[in-house]
Amino acid sequence: MSGGVDSSVAALLLKKQGYDVVGVTMQIWDDAVKLPDTGHSGCYGPGEARDLEFARAVAARLGIPHVAVPLADQYKRYVLDYFRAEYRAGRTPNPCMVCNQRLKFGFLLDRAREQGISFDLFATGHYARVVRDNVTSQCRLLRGVDHKKDQSYFLARLTREQLRQVLFPIGELTKVEVIRIAQDAGFNEVAAREESQDFVECDDYSALFQQTDNRPGPIVDTAGHLLGQHNGIIHYTIGQREGLNLGGQKQPLYVIGIDASANRVIVGPAPDLLRSEFEVTDCNWLTIELPSAPMEVTVQVRYNHKGCPGKVAILNNPKDSGRARVNLDQPQRAVAPGQAAVFYRDDMVIGSGWIS
């Protein structure tokens, strides 16, 4: 329970359906990184205290127990350290996907059991669906009914084993319906809370890094010509235009590559951002049978990407399913190393891999 309307309504619906519900909230903020309290909530920051109070208040009104589970050390190790390492390597991290796999659907459940909470299923307020096959006992991950709020992309790193114990009570609802349910139940204050999808409660991520990470270096074009200076590769990502400070150019320039070994930012015109072929590593397959031939799928290369038809082919042989090559029917903009490519067939998640 995050203290927001989605997880609150999820708990409300489960209680109405007759489940024995316990609310749990991750505590990941320990003031190790100095961030100002801006008054709004994010995943990581001092606003966690307000979220915790909202979650406790909702649980109390629902008549269910509420437990806070401390995971600050795990969050620093598996999310913040990963986030820093990816930017330092010139890649674009996806902390939400890592947090879901390792913490929210991993350490949180382990620690809850260690704290004496016994449970059969774990529910969250994600806009996604899990369908169970009664014949094979397999679970399929599907997009939420509200495609504008769908969060299946962020859940695509969950394993089949993790999905077996998951419920998504609001996956069949739209955001409008969720808010109306909260209002009808008298949770107007929760329904009116500002929605936050920020990873960190600050305007940029610089507070998470050390001063030594701000190491200046050259900005060059694809031919290697020096165009300017950057103030540290951690401030740049593929597709970025703002903040380059390159005046006098004939056409707009974008970050098309980051060479961490040479501490260089490579820029080029918009057409240079287009990619129709790339590889992914550390694939997570949610389909039972992996075909030896290329699979026709819809490929989503970032959360707000609408997806593109294409093919994904496992490299080497079907027994080595960790690497795959993706070929898109149409070139897509800003395919960034470090981000996840998620493969869909209609609404069903087939698998995912990290863009390399």
The CATH number that applies at residue 121 is: 3.40.50.620
Range with the lowest mean pLDDT among 3-12, 208-217, 320-329?
Answer: 320-329
Last residue of a domain, one of 268, 299, 316: 268
Q: What is the pLDDT of residues 111-159, one digit of tens each?
A: 999 999 999 999 999 999 999 887 777 899 999 999 999 999 999 999 9
- pTM of this structure: 0.94
For residues 37 and 129, membership in a common domain is answered with yes
- What integer is the mean pLDDT of 173-197? 92
Strand 274-285 with 295-300, pairing: unpaired
Are residues 178 and 216 both part of a single domain?
no
Q: Which long-range contacts (CB under 8 A, 24 or more apart) does 45-49 make?
A: 45/200, 45/201, 45/202, 46/201, 47/201
| Number of structural domains found in the chain | 3
pLDDT at 269 over 90: yes
Its domain, for residue 263, covers 211-268
SS3 content of the chain, % helix, strand, coil (to 5): 30, 25, 45
**pLDDT computed for residue 320 by the predictor:** 66
Residues 263 and 285 grouped into a single domain: no
Average pLDDT, the chain: 93
Do residue 216 and residue 137 come from a single domain? Answer: no
How far is the C-alpha of 7 from the C-alpha of 64, rounded, in Å? 14
37 and 52 part of one domain:
yes
CATH number of the structural domain spanning residue 252: 2.30.30.280
> What does 32-86 look like in DSSP terms, one character per residue?
SS-----SS--SBSTTHHHHHHHHHHHHHHHT--EEEEE-HHHHIIIIIHHHHHH
Amino acid at 176: V
Has residue 154 been placed in a domain?
A: yes
The pLDDT of residue 316 is above 80: no
Crossing angle of helices 175-184/5-16, nearest 10°?
A: 70
Query: Which has the higher per-residue pLDDT, 199 or 11?
Result: 11
Under DSSP, is residue 5 helix (H, G, I), strand (E, B) or coil? helix
Q: What is the mean pLDDT of residues 248-261?
A: 94
Residue 203 belongs to some domain of the structure = no
> Is 15 inside any structural domain?
yes
Could you list the beta-strand ranges (E) of the chain.
Answer: 23-27, 66-70, 122-123, 128-132, 139-143, 166-167, 217-220, 226-230, 254-259, 264-268, 274-285, 295-300, 308-314, 324-333, 340-345, 348-355
Residues 67 and 44 in one domain: yes
Choosing from 221, 249, 268, the residue where a domain stops is 268
For residue 295, the domain's CATH number is 2.40.30.10
The residue behind tokens 């701000």 is: 214
The Cα 16–Cα 25 span in angstroms is 21
Same domain, 259 and 306: no
223 with 251, same domain: the answer is yes
Please name every residue paired with 327 in a beta bridge, in sequence order, or none if there are none.
277, 311
Q: Tell me if 77 sits within 8 A of 83, measured CB to CB.
A: no
Using CA atoms, how far apart are residues 267 and 256, in angstroms rounded to an integer? Answer: 5
Q: Hey, which residues does 298 pair with through a beta bridge? A: 309, 344
Kindly tell me if the per-residue pLDDT of 96 is higher than 80: yes
Residue 197: inside a domain:
no
pLDDT tens for 288-309 read 777 778 999 999 999 999 999 9
Same domain, 280 and 263: no
More confident residue, 326 or 202: 326
Give the catalytic positions in this structure. 99, 202
Give the pLDDT confidence score for residue 333 in this predicted structure: 95
Residues 269 and 244 sit within 8 Å (Cβ to Cβ): no
| Cα(315)–Cα(321) distance, integer angstroms | 7
Based on the fold, state whether residues 257 and 293 are members of the same structural domain: no
The answer to whether residue 196 sits within a structural domain is no
One domain for residues 159 and 48: yes
Residue 249 has pLDDT above 70, yes or no: yes
In this structure, are 12 and 118 located in the same domain? Answer: yes
Q: Residue 19 domain-assigned?
A: yes
pLDDT on residue 321: 66
Q: Which helix (H) or strand (E) holds 160?
A: helix 160-163
Alpha-carbon distances, residue 213 vs 84, 93, 220 (angstroms):
10, 16, 20
- Whether residue 103 lies inside any domain: the answer is yes
φ, ψ at 84 (rounded to 5°): -65, -45
CA distances in angstroms from 49 to 9, 45, 61, 195, 244, listed in the order given: 20, 9, 19, 16, 37
**Phi/psi at 172 (5° precision):** -90, 5
In this predicted structure, what is the pLDDT of residue 239?
A: 96
Task: Say if 137 falls within a structural domain.
Answer: yes
Helices and strands (H, E) in the chain, number of each type = 9, 16
Identify the pLDDT of residue 195: 77
